[in-house]
Amino acid sequence: MKRVVISLLGLMLFAGLTATASEAGKLLIWADDSRAPILVEVAKDFTAVYGVEAIVQEVSFGDIKSQLATAGPAGEGPDILLGPHDWLGELILNGLLEPIVLTPAQVEEFDPVAVDAFSWGNLLYGVPYATENVALIRNTDLVPEVPATFEELLTIAKGLTDLEAGKYGFLIQQPDPYHTFALYSAGGGYIFGEDEDGVLNPCDIGLDNEGSIAGATILDQMVKDGIEIAGAGYGEVVGAFSAGNLAMMIGGPWTLADVKAGGINYAVSAIPPIGGNAPGVFVGVQGFMVSAFSENKVLANLLIKDFLISSDVMLGLYIQGDRPPAYLPALGFLAGNPDIQGFAAAAATAIPMPKIPEMTSVWNAWSDALELIVNQEQDPTTAMQDAANEIRALLGCD
Amino acid sequence: MYDKHTFFGSVWRHGIILVLIVFAVFPVLWVVSGSFNATNNIQMQKLIPPHATLEHYKSLFTTPQYPFGIWLWNSLKIALITSLLTVVLAGLGAYAFSRFRFKGRRVGLLGLLLIQMFPQVLAMVAIFLLVLALGDIFPWAGLNTHTGLVLVYLGGAMGFNTWLMKGYFDTIPRSLEESAKVDGATPFQAFTKIILPLARPILATIFVLTFISTYSEVILATILLRSSDTFTLPVGMALLISDQYGRRWGMFAAGSILAMIPFLVIFLLSQRSLVSGLTRGAVKE
Amino acid sequence: MGPPDGRPLYPYMIWRYVAKHTAKIILLGTLVGASIYVSVFLLTKGMYIPAVMPLIGSGFISYIFLSQKRYPLRWLVPGVIFLTVMVVYPIGYTFVSSFTNVGTGHMLSKEQTIRQLLDRCYVPDAAVVYSYVAFANDDGNLALLLESESATILYVDGNAEELSLPDARLIDEDGDGEIDRYEDYARLSFMQLAQRVSEIEDFRIEYGGTTISLVNLHEFRTRSPLYAYDEEAETMTDQQTGVAYTAVDGIFTSESGEEIYPGYKVWTGLSNYLDLLRNPAVSRPFGKVFLWTIVFATLTLLLNFALGLATAVLLNDPFLRFRTLYRVLMIIPYALPAFVTILIWRGLLNTGFGTINQVLVSLFGAGARVPWLSNPWLAKLSVLLVNLWLGYPYMMIISLGALQSIPSTLYEAARVDGASWWQRFSRITLPLLLIPLGPLLVGSFAFNFNNFTLIWLLTEGRPPMLGTLTPAGETDILISYTYRLAFEGQRGNQLGLAAAVAVVIFIIIATISAINFRMTGALEELSKNV
């Protein structure tokens, strides 16, 4: 009997639940809590001009992507959503995004790296509004001058570290490949190699090449020297810095709110050269995207192009989130801002984060390797080799 | 079962309990501390925060983005209704399993147990689509409604609850109901007038257990509730720490402490029913 | 039982039956009526199979309520309805999904995918741009007037008609050069247009061998569909390049291996299960992960029950003062949502910064820093410790409840016989507790076997297992590890694979539990004699 019921229910699944029309004539935007307030204002302006209701729904950052996959095709999804560019691969493969068409003049108003980040196969799938990357953030009371080289930085850090007193010189949050990438890239490490057309080759993995292993060895040495402490995650690092107990950290614009709240005098600058080479960092781009299952594509595009692409809104988003705008006119307003300059300097040799779905396996294996290194459970060379081989095995490369 | 305490007996009993209480409570002290801490940080604290502030508690009730009061009310409402209905559903089932012998009884009991063991992680997608369709037919019970959520929670009403109650009913001698039958009562009357009053401890137990599990449930609620004013407490609180790098631990901690209070009150109130005990004097053995 | 004054038997008996059960018949009638309504509703939506379910359900329920033999089942009906719809159905859904390739790249149904692909357009060289004016009549139907440099088109009721101006049906009422009416259709204001533009964007106007559709608020444009679909051959042909893509395993693929996204979900039979068995990422660490899962669930059960029961016994003591206060304090771990407290514990156990280590360091010096979550054995210990903290209140509550069911007469009799406290506990309390609690303990074992939340929030399965070339961790249990593979494996989420994992885990745990149930089932018979 149970089997019969199950197979009947199974057929029910396949008979397919027809998608109910999402509200045509009303716009639904999904945003997480840091962007929602600005968007509510924009939505009101939009409604005033067009008489069409626009609602901003606050959805947890982690939930937007996963809920879109189910809600979108079922007709319960949003028209517009906000998210980082590295979601692009998975969203496009699932047929969840609609390309956005901007005129060449409009495209020129944006940071080319940002536009590139939101492009996939010659089409633009999102309008970028903020770029973010990590840089060196230091407490200017403790470290008045920028260290000239990374080696000098470590020496200064060692001098300032006093575990008994709870004082730290320099910390990189772990296990976090994103924040640690600078160490790898300086020596020539990379994740996926590119072929001639700039297309990423998922089977060309550079995490166990010389440069990567050199970077991992630097981290290992930091632990042995007592600079890097096991268990330092985002909360611990930023907490210590905001309390004045940490002299230098690698962090992004999102940390500044807490740092300012702690009343710390700080400065943002590029990460000093490691072994003579300028380290590259990952750039993440945040943007507005249109759902492929939206019933209001024309209106959605209208909202984005006519209301969101404006210096006022872009600056508002900056003020809310501290992330440098990708919209060049807005960025121009902030030209004198030292924080923006600092992050921009760090991003001089930036690489957009890869957006292919294969990246999840990479982050996991790499994080595991970092965890082992920081806890001194494995030497850096073996750790990175194991990680790279694990990724190769998972992706089915030979 | 218990003897009166000697003085030494009292001492070691209270001593052990105090040790256990320290074990139980000290992590929560950190939450309390975090709720008064001005920097938004839950790690790396001293127990007494250096800049103590009531800011977080105030923000909970004054930030329109985070209508804590509404969330609290929603959670209480849903948890109370679900718990009451669960006690009813489970009780009816438990009585049948305990008192009647019918075809499919053993299989049914075993089945109830085994069904609860299926990993429900993928069920989220199924339930989402199900409630979506339900909302088409009965708009008041679809997505983003509390009715829909309660209906989904009632799916778990039978199961272990039925087992627990059945075990308790089994220990009540049938002679009580038999004498009622002689007096012309239907099984349902015997159930409501005789068994239920005697079963108050187990009813209270199930009520409390269901209350806390419904009250803290976060996964299904996140999927089915879509707008800020329908959120339950856990869903709202998860929102506070959802931003990758902008977690509001202070408000989260304050919200957690406040959230704890209703459950403690319910538990306290249920204590009288919990130990009302059985009166066996109704029938001469 | 005959009629009092000798009237015919049968009609009287039917009359008595109906009168006695009127309420029941009315309710059942309403139920059947409602289920017919739902069925018809589902039929109109084209869901033929689901439309049958309410009828079957209500028929079954009516049978139960009308048949005297099935009386006991009536008690079960409400609970079982909810159980079937909310628990059994998702299990069925999961089960069916395990035979498909649903996941990243294959989330949509075939119709949705084809619809999306057919909607994709490219701009042909001879593209024409049209400005337009929209009108609506009293019934709300739309009419559009499109104008390009070369042509004027009227679109009404799905028909495109070329017009030559001036046309008598187009009326300029106020003489400002702008058309205000078309027959009985009035021109839409700006705001009215904005509110209806979403309908207009769905129009596909066929004219002169081309398709015209809306590109933004002000313009229509001729656009050619990018793909042509051949239903029989199941191919999509790219109209720009001429390349044909055939449907293979739910993705349109060209001969050279190029794929068009999105794909759609298809039956894949047992391939998910075979994948699990053959995948070295699963098989290599399987033994270790499985062993830890069993050990974890068993130790958790024993520890939690021991502490919970001990606490319950202590706090059940009528001679203990403040016991209500103590109970409320002891229940506190249970009063906070698990995801809050697990994160707190994670912070407390942090090697470099957590409070526990800071206390140890201040007492014993820097060397006392304990790697709670990074050493394989200590991590396992930490997991058990946190689970103990989280789980003993539940055991305490159910023990308190079950303790009430033991008649005090038994204790009195034992006391008369001179039994000691321990003898009373082990010979009376414990066995009589295990009768109602036995199945719950089995259930707790199963719950912890699948306790994804704890592992995920506390350690994410870490510390990593060395040298396995798989993402398995030392604290991973079966479900956390396999779900991680499914959701964070090669290409995004593989829901079909995750479903297969769920089924396999269910088979394992159900088998273990059924065996355990046999053992506690034997105890059930004891209760009949109480």
For residues B88 and B40, state if they share a domain. Answer: no
Residue B150 has pLDDT above 90, yes or no: yes
Q: Is C281 on the interface with A (CB under 8 A)?
A: yes
Where is the domain boundary, B38, B53, B68?
A: B53
* Structure confidence at residue C529 (pLDDT): 37
Q: Which pair of tokens denotes residue B85?
A: 């209905």
Residue B21 has pLDDT above 90, yes or no: yes
For residues B19 and B94, state if they share a domain. Answer: no
Residue C290's pLDDT band, with cuts at 50, 70 and 90, is: very high
Taking the CA of residue C348 and the nearest CA in chain A, the distance in Å comes to 11
* Structure confidence at residue A14 (pLDDT): 30
Q: Is C502 on the interface with A (CB under 8 A)?
A: no
Mean pLDDT of B195-219: 89
For residues B173 and B151, state if they share a domain. Answer: yes
For residues B219 and B107, state if they share a domain. Answer: yes
Span C213-264, pLDDT tens digits: 888 888 888 888 888 888 888 888 888 888 889 888 888 988 888 888 888 8
Mean pLDDT of A128-139: 93
For residues B78 and B180, state if they share a domain. Answer: yes
Residue B283 lies in a domain: no
Helix (H) or strand (E) holding C161: strand C159-163
Residue B281's pLDDT band, with cuts at 50, 70 and 90, is: very low
Residue B284 lies in a domain: no
Task: Locate the DSSP E strands across C164-280.
Answer: 170-171, 181-182, 185-187, 205-207, 210-216, 219-222, 224-225, 227-230, 235-238, 244-248, 251-253, 259-260
Q: Is A48 on the interface with C (CB under 8 A)?
A: no
Domain boundaries, chain C: 9-78, 121-225, 275-529
Taking the CA of residue C292 and the nearest CA in chain A, the distance in Å comes to 20
Cα B36 to Cα B246: distance, rounded to the nearest angstrom: 18
- Give the bridge partners for C136, in sequence order: C142, C186
Using CA coordinates, name the residue in chain B closest to A16.
B129
Q: What's the one-letter identity of residue C192?
A: Q
Name which of A241, A258, A264, A353 to mutate to probe chain B: the one with the most chain B Cβ atoms within 10 A of its Cβ.
A258
Residue B285 lies in a domain: no
Taking contacts as CB-CB distances below 8 angstroms, the residues of chain C near B88 are 78
Using CA coordinates, name the residue in chain B closest to C107.
B125
CA dihedral C166, C169, C175, C180 (to 10 degrees): -120
Architecture of domain C9-78: Up-down Bundle (1.20)
Span A194-253, pLDDT tens digits: 877 767 788 888 999 999 999 999 999 999 999 999 889 888 898 889 889 999 999 998
Taking contacts as CB-CB distances below 8 angstroms, the residues of chain B near C347 are 30, 42-43
Span B179-194, pLDDT tens digits: 888 888 888 888 888 8
Those residues with Cβ within 8 angstroms of residue B98's Cβ, 6 or more apart along the chain or in another chain: B165, B166, B169, B170
- What is the dotted CATH code of the domain comprising C121-225? 2.40.430.10
The neighbour count for residue B258, using CB atoms within 10 Å, is 17
For residues B120 and B224, state if they share a domain. Answer: yes
Taking contacts as CB-CB distances below 8 angstroms, the residues of chain B near C408 are 1, 277
Helix (H) or strand (E) holding C142: strand C142-147
For residues B117 and B242, state if they share a domain. Answer: yes
Q: How many residues does chain C have?
A: 530
CB-count burial class (<10 Å; 0-12, 13-18, 19+) for C366: exposed
Q: Is A386 on the interface with B (CB under 8 A)?
A: no
Interface of C with A in 136-165 (CB under 8 A): none
Show the domains of chain A with their CATH numbers: 22-132+283-352 (3.40.190.10), 135-280+358-395 (3.40.190.10)
Cα A24 to Cα A29: distance, rounded to the nearest angstrom: 14
Q: Do B39 and A258 touch (CB under 8 A)?
A: yes
Pairing mode, strands A26-31 and A53-58: parallel
Cα A88 to Cα A102: distance, rounded to the nearest angstrom: 18
For residues B40 and B114, state if they share a domain. Answer: no
Q: Enter the ipTM.
A: 0.85
**What is the 3 state secondary structure string of B231-259?**
CCHHHHHHHHCCCCCCCCHHHHHHHHHHH
* Of A260-269, C24-33, C273-282, C414-423, highest mean pLDDT: A260-269
Average pLDDT, chain C: 84
Count structural domains, chain B. 2
Residue C454's pLDDT band, with cuts at 50, 70 and 90, is: very high
Cα C445 to Cα C304: distance, rounded to the nearest angstrom: 11
Span B75-85, pLDDT tens digits: 999 999 999 99
Phi first, then psi: give them for residue C213, nearest 5 degrees.
Answer: -140, 170
Mean pLDDT of A165-176: 90
For residues B49 and B182, state if they share a domain. Answer: no
Interface of A with C in 205-234 (CB under 8 A): 229-233
* Structure confidence at residue B43 (pLDDT): 56
Where is the domain boundary, B16, B35, B53?
A: B53
Q: Which domain holds residue B143?
A: 58-274
Q: Which residue in the set B112, B122, B267 is minimally distant from C331, CB to CB?
A: B267
Helix (H) or strand (E) holding A372: helix A359-374
Q: Which residue in the set B137, B171, B277 is minimally distant from C527, CB to CB?
A: B171
Q: Do B43 and A236 touch (CB under 8 A)?
A: yes
Span B101-117, pLDDT tens digits: 888 888 888 888 888 88
Taking the CA of residue A108 and the nearest CA in chain B, the distance in Å comes to 30
Q: What's the one-letter identity of residue A176?
A: D
Residue C162 has pLDDT above 90, yes or no: no
Using CA coordinates, name the residue in chain B closest to C506.
B118
For residues B81 and B151, state if they share a domain. Answer: yes
- Give the bridge partners for A250, in sequence order: A136
Q: Do C104 and A90 touch (CB under 8 A)?
A: yes
Q: Is C21 on the interface with A (CB under 8 A)?
A: no
First-last CA distance in chain C: 38
For residues B72 and B28, state if they share a domain. Answer: no
Phi first, then psi: give them for residue B60, nearest 5 degrees.
Answer: -60, -35
For residues B107 and B2, state if they share a domain. Answer: no
Give, in order, the Cα–Cα distances in Å from C513 to each of B115, B266, C150. 11, 33, 78
Cα C266 to Cα C247: distance, rounded to the nearest angstrom: 11
Q: Which residue in the set B3, B93, B155 is minimally distant from C87, CB to CB?
A: B155
| B45: nearest Cα among C347, A232, C366 | C347
Residue B139 lies in a domain: yes
Percent of chain A, pLDDT > 90? Answer: 44
* Structure confidence at residue B180 (pLDDT): 86
CA B269 to chain centre: 14
Using CA coordinates, name the residue in chain C closest to B203.
C401
Taking contacts as CB-CB distances below 8 angstroms, the residues of chain A near C97 are 13
Those residues with Cβ within 8 angstroms of residue B49's Cβ, 6 or more apart along the chain or in another chain: B33, B34, B36, B37, B38
Q: Is the pTM of this model over 0.80?
A: yes
* Structure confidence at residue C468 (pLDDT): 78
- Would you identify the CATH topology of the domain C275-529? MetI-like fold (1.10.3720)
* Structure confidence at residue C48 (pLDDT): 63
